[in-house]
Amino acid sequence: MDFRYLGNSGLKISEIIYGNWLTHGSQVENDAATASVHAALDAGITTFDTADAYANTAAEKVLGDALKGQRRQSLEIFTKVYWPTGPAGHNDTGLSRKHIMESIDGSLSRLGTDYVDLYQAHRYDHETPLEETMQAFADLVRAGKVLYVGVSEWTADQLRAGHALAKDLGFQLISNQPQYSMLWRVIEDQVVPTSKELGISQIVWSPVAQGVLTGKYKPGAELPAGSRATDEKGGASAIKRFLTDDVLTAVQKLQPIADEAGLTLAQLAVAWVLQNPNVAGAIVGASRPEQVKSNAEAAGVKLDDEALARIDEVILPVATTDPALTVSPETRVA
C-alpha cells in the first residue's frame, strides 16, 4: 500500500480508502461486511470512510464493530455530517451548530472511538451561515473530538470561502470528497485548480462509476442479477446515468488498455483517478473480501502518457465534464 499526505497537513492516508456507502447496514450482511473490513486491513488499507447518514447511522456501527481490537493510532477513520439522521426531525439535518455538535457525539459512540481523524461536511448548507458551521468545526478540533476537517461536493467558490474562514479560526480545511472517475470529471475545470492553490486534497468516491467501469454491464444486455443496477435501495438510482449504450460501448474499448497494463478494468479505473496529483485517495466499497484485495492492487500503479491518452480518446467523448454539476441541495430534506 502506498500513502499520500492529505492536503496541506502532516496526515498520511492510504491511497486506497475503504468506504461503506450502500453496503454496510444495508446491502451486505454484517458478517460479510466485517470480513471485507478485515480484508482491507490485510491489504494494507488504514483509512476508512463512512457517514452518519449511511443506512441511517447503521453503517457507522458496523464499521466500528469491525475495527474493534485494532490499534486506533494505526487507523484513519473518517465520517461526515449533513444529511438527515434518526427520525429526520427539523434539526436532524444540515450544518447548524446544534446538528454538528449532536452528530459528532453519535458518530463517536457508534464508531467506538474518542475522536475521528477527519470530519467532513457532507454537502454545503445553504440554510446555515458558513461562519456558524466553521466555528462549530473549530470548536470540535479544539475539543479533540476531530483532528482534521474536510468537506464533500463543495464548489470552488465554497471551498475558497470555507478555507478562508477556517484559517481565521485557527484550523485548516484540508480535503474535499467529490465524485470522480473517468466518466465523471466535473471537478477538473474549477475544483481541482482551486484546491491545489489552497492546499486541499481530493478524496474521491465512485472511482469505478458505481461499477460501470468494471465492464460487467454490456451494451444492449440484461442487467446482471444482484448487481448494483438492480438494487432498489439506492444503488439503481445512483448508477442509472451511466447505463447508456454509448457509455457501455466505450467502457468495453478500455479492455485492451487494461490488459496491456496487467490490470482488471476496475483496477485501471482506480489507478486512473490516482494519477491526478490532487487526489490523495480513492474510496472503494465491497460486498466481498476478494473485491477489496483486487481494488487494493491499484495502489502504486503508474500509467504512462500513452495509456492515459488512449483512455481519454475512448472515454472523454462520453464523459461528463460540466463543472456546474458540482451541487449541494438548495433546501434541506427534513
Residues with active-site annotation = 54
Report the run of H or E that residue 261 belongs to, with start and end: helix 255-261
**Do 251 and 212 form a contact (C-beta atoms < 8 A)?**
yes
User: Residue 80 contacts by C-beta under 8 Å, 6 or more apart in sequence?
Assistant: 50, 51, 52, 53, 119, 120, 121, 122, 152, 177
User: Residue 5 contacts by C-beta under 8 Å, 6 or more apart in sequence?
Assistant: 11, 12, 201, 280
First to last CA, the chain: 40
Instruction: Give how far Cα 315 sits from Cα of 129, 133, 182, 225, 298, Å.
Output: 40, 39, 7, 26, 19
**Do 254 and 311 form a contact (C-beta atoms < 8 A)?**
yes
Three-state secondary-structure class, residue 260: helix
Q: Please give the angle made by the CA atoms of 41, 269 and 210, to the nearest 5 degrees.
A: 80
Q: Which of 182, 184, 213 is nearest to 320 (CA)?
A: 184
Q: Would you tell me how many other CB atoms lie within 10 Å of the CB of residue 217?
A: 24
Tell me how far apart the alpha carbons of residues 150 and 247 are, in angstroms, rounded to a whole number. 32
- Owner of C-alpha cell 474536510: 150
